[in-house]
Amino acid sequence: MIKYLEKFQQFDLLTVHNQLSLGILKSGHVVLLYLGKRLGTEDLSYITKEIQRASYLADTDHTKDFKLEQYPLVWPTYGNPDMRTPAIHLQYPNGSRISDFRYKRHDIYPGKKKIAGLPASFGRRQVETLDLFLEDALTNVQVKVSISAFEAFDVFTQHIEIINRSIGKLAIERVMSLNLDFLRDDFDLMTLSGAWGRETHIKRNALKQGFQGIDSKRGASGHGQNPFMALLDKNTSEDQGKVYAVDLVYSGNFLAQAEVDMHQNTRLQIGIDPFDFHWQLDPDETFYSPEAVIVFAEAGLNQMSQRFHRFFEQCLIAPFHAEKTRPIILNNWEATYFNFNKELLLDLASKAQSVGIELFVLDDGWFGRRDGADSSLGDWVPYQEKIGGTLTELIQEINSIGLDFGLWVEPEMVSEKSRLFEEHPDWIIAVPNRIPQQVRDQYVLDISRKEVQDHLVEVLDELLTANNIRLLKWDMNRNVTDSYSRALTQERQQELGHRYILGLYRILDKITKKHPDVWIESCAGGGGRFDAGMLYYTPQIWTSDDTDAVERLQIQKGTAMVYPPSALSCHVSAVPNHQVGRITSIETRGIVAMQGILGYELNLLETTAEENQTIKEQIAYYKKYREIFQFGQLSVLPTYEQENATAWMKEKAGLVVVSYVQTLAKPNTVPKRLRLSGLIKEADYLLEGTKDSFKGSELMEIGLPLARPAIDYFAQQWVLRKQ
């Protein structure tokens, strides 16, 4: 998978279909020679040899017309003499910010090492790693660029280690996990952006000279942006065109940026956001960057998504959970909010069991004296007067109904009205002598501190050990403000953002290792922390607090562009919808929620007998095809009116489920057809429920007939079986 061609000073990292090639220049600088589908040639050094002289650039090493700023560098620094945005920016004890990292040596080995303190992919199948050691000869600081090739997955990963071999402290002001330089700029840039309640909408724009991209300064990856970015050829669609995509395995402040320079070259970077980041690295210490995942696809966005999905399912999510079907959930939040008692909870559980639901989640309000959002966070002891006894007794009664039990927690937060805050007011993130800001009547605990981490591990461990809890819904309902830690010195205050995330990962690591059979569903006010870093610990994530079926079409389409449907928690909720007030049929809401992990977020005691019968049929249908819905290969289908309809299909072992949702009816028109993709042209596909059979070529070129829209939002599903 990884070849070192010493004659050409070239490294070829090979997967089944793709290739990433690096070269070492005579100067010792490492360059990106190629990223794309596999080639049949060896020597690619001509790519950099053919670079022509450009004006007003400095000569490197006093070598005439060797202008480093023109080259596609793997690990660029600033000002020696490249003047573009660097991948790394260090400050040395004498105040200098100039580094000069050149090739020193390399290692190639099977497998892949863990990254200290950080989640990262692992090699469940054949994987090899190239470690490139670069050194600044003046300061003895080393950078290890660690690149792994996952042969069967057509995926590359990269992370960076900065090793301080100097005799003084080193200040890290910028460190990207990945830098990709392209000798062209004729790309479109794709990101996933939005806000609370409309997360991960797909944004696509033409690149232009200068900076473009996304970032987060919120202490989490954020509702407004997702740590993913892709460069697309202009002709790229769902099923054609080249895609160069990157995703960061990280849950905190990040930067994903494309820079087009004055010579029409593109520099793509992703890593920790350098805003408010400054890390002191003592002699002989090592700093580890988060991992970046690199996917190249030559056949469009569906191929890109499928490669991300397969890789995350098999090489990132914990093996214990990775390929296990997810249970169908009823969450009581939108049914009751804070207003419930034991009798109501048991009635809901009984009704849930009668329609086929498998797990009951008790949401916010079960602990402390929690009857509203203004108290008790941090006091994770049962509110016995409210739940009618001990938590253990409630769980046993729900289990006796025939349901597993799940519980909501928000461990990273604390209420001012809580015993924990009374005992440890210094445990919150707050600036001395300033009034700390409250969001939702709560503060953020400083989980960069080990004693706070240990407290939360102890509390959660006791809760899970004492009770038969199968799922823990882990929420985070505000971002980090008032950034300051009482446990850090003045010179280390800008380390807080990263240390907070390292603390979160340490807590999750200890809990998941102690209780590997407990599912954790991550949530951050919905999709505020839907990223690959959380997927490593939490195999499913609440996709958005907005449960409106029409809005969820775009949210789920964008999220599933990168993250597998088996990770998307998608619920049917009441109408009028609690977030936007829209009314959609129970059939449409069900089809949309079946795109991921089906669940329900409504009061089954208030639904009609007809609605309950429909829900029962939905659940039975979903269970029949659950393997396909959760683990089938996803393809987004082009629709006749892209802005008015969304369609997707999932295929596994010859079974195909196709879904279509139209949002607005159009008068006096003839219904069109929906063309499928990714089928075997010569194969016959039987349309279930009929005797009709179609060639794969027919389904892809002619398509399935769409019925005339009903009065409300119109949804339709088909099941096809390869003969």
- Token pair 């280690």 is at which residue? 161
CA 687 vs. chain centroid, Å, equals 35
Structure tokens at 84: 């573009």
Contact 159, 177 (CB under 8 A): yes
Contacts of 504 (CB under 8 A, 6+ apart): 251, 412, 447
Q: Give the neighbor-by-neighbor strand order of the sheet with 684-687.
A: 633-637, 645-652, 655-662, 714-722, 684-687, 693-695
Contacts of 179 (CB under 8 A, 6+ apart): 73, 74, 75, 76, 87, 267, 268, 269
The DSSP element (H or E) to which 306 belongs, if any, is helix 301-315
Contact 379, 425 (CB under 8 A): no
Strands of 94-154, DSSP E: 101-110, 127-136, 142-150
User: Is the backbone peptide bond immediately before 576 cis, with ω within 30 degrees of 0?
Assistant: yes
Rounded (10°) CA dihedral 255, 256, 261, 266? 150
Query: CB 693: neighbour CB atoms within 10 A?
Result: 13
**260/242 Cα distance (integer angstroms):** 19
Structure tokens at 214: 């996304």
545 is catalytic: yes
Contact 157, 20 (CB under 8 A): no
CA 568 vs. chain centroid, Å, equals 10
CA 119 vs. chain centroid, Å, equals 12
Q: What is 460-522 written as a DSSP string?
A: HHHHHHHS---EEEE---S---S---TTS-GGGGGGHHHHHHHHHHHHHHHHHHH-TTSEEEE
Q: Catalytic pick from 82, 100, 136, 475?
A: 475
**313/602 Cα distance (integer angstroms):** 30
- Token pair 């070192």 is at which residue? 4
181 is catalytic: no
Q: Catalytic pick from 379, 545, 546, 548?
A: 545
Q: What is 170-239 written as a DSSP string?
A: EEEEEEEEEEEEES---EEEEEEE--TTS--EEEEEE--SEEEEEE--SSSS-SSB-SEEEEEETT--SS
- Give catalytic residue positions: 475, 545
